[in-house]
Amino acid sequence: MSSIFEGFLSTLEVQEAFGDRRFVAAMLRFEAALARAQAATGLIPEGAAKSIIGSCKVELFDVPKLVRESGRAGSIAVPLVRSLKEAVGLFNPGAVVHTHFGCISQDVVDTAMALVTREALALIATDLDHAIRALLGLAERHAATPMLARTLMQPASITSFGLKCAGWVAPLVRSRQRMLVAAERALQLQLGGAVGTLAEMGEHGPRVASLMAEELGLRAPLGHWQTQRDEWVALGCELGLLVGSLGKIARDMALMAQFEVAELAEAYEAGRGGSSAMPHKRNPVGAMVALAAAQRAPQRVAALLQAMPQEHERALAHWQVELAEWPQLVMSAHGSVRAVAQVAGGMQVDPARMAANLEAVRASLPAEAVTVWFAPDLAAHAARLAVTQIAAARADWAKATDNVASALHQRGSPQQAGSGR
């Protein structure tokens, strides 16, 4: 999932979440939940279900071999199910016919993608909270710190650094709220069978789906979503918006950290942001990571949207495009939010330099322009606005985190949901 050229733009944790072994393990969780639910409804014998569940252990499978074979098969699910049936047959040949009964490759893969995405979203939410907390702290400490506002890249008027930070944090809080709603809808079980009707399971299909969703901690959809990707893509769009908001923060930080401006600096850390040739360099690598994500995310989101017009009940190539783009988008999002959280948490602010830059502009202007655009009461007004906006952001953030806690309480933790019965 990563390479020497892009690994540093993400995080090890989210790369592992989408790693081959983790994804195969998620697919096996689906197969175990399927067998357990089908046994509970009488679709397959209890003994067969026990044999299937006992074989759904990732350590029993040669994951690299499955990945190699997936290219020829057209889906990772095909060699996995074949290997699962072989493993089941070693202990209970009669259970092979009941393995993967009534479902298809896309059911397995979509559900596994929802499971690993849930892990990745938890990582994003944690670092997003760190970023929000750090930015709110900066905003509160510098609510009354005057600085130069800039429009069209040129000096404009007076504002406060606290107000600027409040402006940075507000979209992050909104993303936190919207992502919760989008994730609640998108992280759902996929179970449709060959053409979305669950025909092989007969009248037991809806009950099987309900039991599986409960065990896996996913939403039980009203029907299959094999080619109805709106809720899934909506979550991808929210990730794109988050990355864009983080990119805006990073852009401002990088501009303010330029030597000629010098109002901010990323925290110094040995080996971080250095140059292979120039010892005086202090490159803003945190901003660089977030900006790189902001450059890549629009193409990822566009690919998801472009893949939505899928053919009939199952798509040719469109779904596969989505599968390839999705992890890259999520990994970029976590790399971006982690970078901004780290930068904001250690940000070095230079109020004296902010004041000096303000004074340099004042000194270059006619007196009447200074009176209109740089009057002391404008700084006080910016400080009051900062306080108001900080309070609003804190209230909205608290509401978002309360909603997360409530949702987790109602659904149960992923560990509980996937532990089985």
* pLDDT single digits (tens) 189-204: 999 999 999 999 999 9
**Interatomic CA distance for residues 49 and 28, integer angstroms:** 13
**Interatomic CA distance for residues 93 and 214, integer angstroms:** 29
- Span 59-77, mean pLDDT? 95
Q: Which two tokens stand for residue 242?
A: 């988050």
- Which residues sit opposite 155 in a β-bridge? 150
- Span 32-36, mean pLDDT? 98
Helices (H), 199-229: 205-216
pLDDT at 249 over 90: yes
pLDDT at 273 over 80: no
pLDDT at 275 over 60: no
345-368 tens-digit pLDDT? 999 999 999 999 999 999 999 998
Query: The pTM is what?
Result: 0.92
pLDDT at 226: 95
Catalytic-residue membership of 275: yes
Q: Which two tokens stand for residue 67?
A: 């990945």
**Alpha carbon separation from 268 to 151, 256, 366, 415 (Å, rounded):** 29, 16, 39, 39
CATH architecture of 7-16+103-417: Up-down Bundle (1.20)
Confidence of residue 267 (pLDDT cuts 50, 70, 90): confident
- Span 313-337, mean pLDDT? 95
Give percent helix, percent strand, percent coil of the chain, each to the nearest 5.
70, 5, 25
Catalytic residue among 275, 406, 413, 419: 275
Quick count: other Cβ atoms within 10 Å of Cβ 82?
A: 15
| Domain locations along the chain | 7-16+103-417
Mean pLDDT of the chain: 92
pLDDT at 421: 31
pLDDT at 277: 52
pLDDT at 7: 79
Catalytic-residue membership of 314: yes
**Interatomic CA distance for residues 40 and 34, integer angstroms:** 10
pLDDT at 225 over 50: yes
Cβ contact 129:136 at 8 Å: no
User: For 259-290, b where at least 16 C-beta lie within 10 A, e where not — what string?
Assistant: eebebbbbeeeeeebeeeeeeeeeebbbbbbb
Catalytic residue among 29, 229, 300, 314: 314
